[in-house]
Amino acid sequence: MKKRIVACFAMVLSVFLLLSACGGGGQQATRLIMATGGTGGTYYPFGGVMAGVINNTTDLQISPNASGASVDNLRQIAAGDAHIALAQNDASYYAFTATEIWSEFEAVTELRALMALHPEPVQIVVLADSGIYSVEDLAGRRVSIGDIGSGVEANSIQILGVHGITLDDISVFNLGVGPSADAMREGSIDAFFFTAIAPTAAIMELSTRHDIRLLSIDDARIAMLEAAYPFYARKYLDSENYAFLTEPVQTVTVHAQLIVSANMDEELAYTIVRAIMEGRDAIIEGHRAGVYIEPVHSATSVSVPLHPGALRFFQEIGVLD
């Protein structure tokens, strides 16, 4: 029987209309919480940059909070604990439809997208001298597959599955990217999965202290993943992503997107999207992921319905009918 997720979508935003201290001017600011990700990943710093640009160009005050990333963030939106969240497009769809990693929970049909963000390739990290050269070689090894219930965990299970490997075939560790890198440094794991824009800070730092490699996924397995899970696409990583890569690595990617509740005020959603799109140059200066903020991609690479405020913005600039 499905567990019920408390859906407090009717949260009254006026509760968060607080007076900001602006030299005694008494201006009002709408205060919002943005759920991001772990401090060693991409969501936390990128969310912080976007929030900063929005805060500097609107009357909004958005606070980016560290979190367990995609699935945790979607639960926070469902419970009304956050107003905006970064989440993988596959995890968002699973929550919206109560499938895959969300199959034991109620569908969160009030999820809405503001826009798509950056691609997030799945990165499978091993030490260069580990003797692991393919995903099949992970059988019998100590593998971190991401936080419990995370989008990374879902990606890991799906990729292992098309290689004929179940969680019973590995020693499972449920760690985020920072703790995974630490565990690899300490010798307590042999490999870890992480889904994020490349390069990722924790992996780059690990590569400065240890010789590491990324595992490739072959054509046949990529075809199986694309057929079974519509959000995967082929992606190549090379020395432009990580200096330690001496030849291209073939993997799959999903995309990040900004998620809110359908109950968010239309004008508020419009203001957020407009601030991000018009502040693209400033966002790029703060984080490399900003280069993927582009009208057509941002409007069309989403996996749940666009919020009416976002839809209105993209219609006004001629991207959508």
> Is residue 29 assigned to a domain?
yes
Domain boundary among 254, 275, 305: 254
| Prediction pTM value | 0.81
> Is residue 50 assigned to a domain?
yes
pLDDT value of residue 13: 33
Distances (CA, A) of 126 to 72, 104, 135: 26, 32, 10
The total domain count for the chain is: 2
276 and 192 within one domain:
no
pLDDT value of residue 27: 55
Each residue's pLDDT tens digit, 159-213: 999 999 999 999 999 998 999 999 999 999 999 999 999 998 899 999 999 999 9
The helix (H) or strand (E) run that includes residue 95 is helix 89-97
Each residue's pLDDT tens digit, 8-26: 333 333 333 333 333 334 4
Each residue's pLDDT tens digit, 51-91: 999 999 999 999 999 998 899 999 999 999 999 999 999 99
151 and 219 within one domain:
yes
Each residue's pLDDT tens digit, 257-270: 999 999 999 999 99
Domain boundary among 254, 282, 299: 254
Identify the domain containing residue 55 by its residue range. 13-118+257-316
CA 287/CA 253 separation, integer angstroms: 19
Type of residue numbered 162: V
Q: Which two tokens stand for residue 26?
A: 């008494």
250 and 145 within one domain:
yes
261 and 114 within one domain:
yes
pLDDT value of residue 246: 94
Sign of CA dihedral 117, 151, 79, 98: positive
100 and 17 within one domain:
yes
Least confident of 14-28, 131-145, 214-228, 251-265: 14-28
pLDDT above 50 (res 226):
yes
- Closest-CA residue to 232 (of 168, 287, 151): 151
Q: Which two tokens stand for residue 73?
A: 């963030």
